[in-house]
Amino acid sequence: MTETTKAVHKPLSKPLAYAFIMTGIFALAFSAIMVKEANFEPVTNAFLRCLLGFITLIPFGIWEIKTKRKLSKNGVLLAIGAGIFLGIDMTAWNYAIFFIGAGISSVLLNLQIIIMPMLAMIFDKFQPKKSFWVLVPIMIFGIVLAGGILDGAPSEGPAIIWGYPIAWIGTALGMLSGICYGCYLYTSRKSGTLNAGLYIQPLMWVFLAQLIPQGFTMLFLSPEGWNVTQGVLANGKLPLDAGTAMTGDMITAANWWWMVLLAVVGHAMAWVFVQIGSVNLDPTVVAGLLLLSPITTVLVAPYTSGESISVLQAIGVVIVLAAVAYQNELHKALLGKLKGST
């Protein structure tokens, strides 16, 4: 096969693209729940997830090089940059999952709808619609409600973590993950435009680069970094003394099973499938479908992880998701379909 033949990229059919992205979204929806089930120390969990995810993709990456082409140098550099942002995102997000819950932390990731337009304004001379500036404070207000900042001390578990209210810390980490997720999406999109048709290699470099901020956190910031013997939760709950030492039940074979499942299905497969589907579908459609991930997590978490949210948090979740939907003009797409059916 010649290099010219290798470079040809044929878009996927819509049914196949939908199948890929829906499978990836379904896997992502359960990734936060898998994090809690694995019960590893948060940054240790992130490191293992990315490392095992990278190993999973190696044979597929080799196949992609042989059948298509090798990732360009600029593609590699952009993927590394994107991976560093995603590494910070995943580390902060893992802590938020244990502090404020899998469902709420997944909703807070949607802060990226503010970050991506701002980055495009700075680097691409993009001019957002006037509605964007109205949605920003609404979105932030929804995040404050969803994080539980206005609810007072939690009914169970520690009220204070690292010397501050756990809702404040969890919300701040959730927002940090959303900011870095937006930076990842912006950088990843830039990489994708340079390497059309390549899905595995960019993500392999992303997964490797994720290990950099995670390794730094384990070495210099987390006192429990690289703890593969003792988890965070005790009997599924964050212990009352977690503010001084985040140690819970001992890690068992079942925890390692969840860790491998998270790395293979909730990380490697999920990201590859979402990437394949998203580049072959309309951006507005993709934005709407991606909303299904946090919605599913919020709905499922009470049954899988025993999570519960207050009335104020529920209102915040609705505000955030509604703002995301409006920013992505999903209301116009829905109205268009309704008019077309009448």
Q: What is the DSSP string of 275-338?
A: HHHHTTS-HHHHHHHHTHHHHHHHHHHHHHT-----HHHHHHHHHHHHHHHHHTTHHHHHHHHH
Determine contact, residues 248/234, Cβ cutoff 8 Å.
Answer: yes
Q: Which residue has the higher pLDDT, 160 or 338?
A: 160
Give the residue, 150 or 267, on which the prediction is more confident.
267
Task: Please check the confidence at residue 2 and state whether its pLDDT lies above 50.
Answer: no
pLDDT (tens digit, 9 = 90+) per residue, 295-342?
A: 889 888 888 888 888 899 999 999 988 888 887 777 676 666 666 655
**pLDDT for the residue 237:** 86
Please measure the distance between the N-terminal and C-terminal CA atoms of the chain and give it in whole angstroms.
51
Q: What confidence score (pLDDT) does residue 337 get?
A: 61
Buried b (16+ CB within 10 A) or exposed e, 222-247: beebebeebbbbbeeebbeebbeebb
Is residue 4 pLDDT above 70, yes or no?
no
Tens-digit pLDDT profile for residues 188-214:
777 666 777 788 999 999 999 999 999
DSSP 164: E
pLDDT band at 160 (very low <50, low <70, confident <90, very high): confident
**Residue carrying structure tokens 């390549």:** 198
Tell me which residue of 147, 32, 209, 174 sits closest to 89, measured CA to CA: 174
**Model pLDDT, residue 330:** 72
Judge whether 135 and 323 are in contact, CB under 8 Å.
yes
> Percent of the chain at pLDDT above 70?
90
Q: What pLDDT is stored for residue 259 in this prediction?
A: 97
Q: Are 325 and 107 in contact (CB under 8 A)?
A: no
pLDDT of residue 334: 64
pLDDT value of residue 9 = 55
Question: Regarding predicted confidence, which is higher, 245 or 118?
Answer: 118
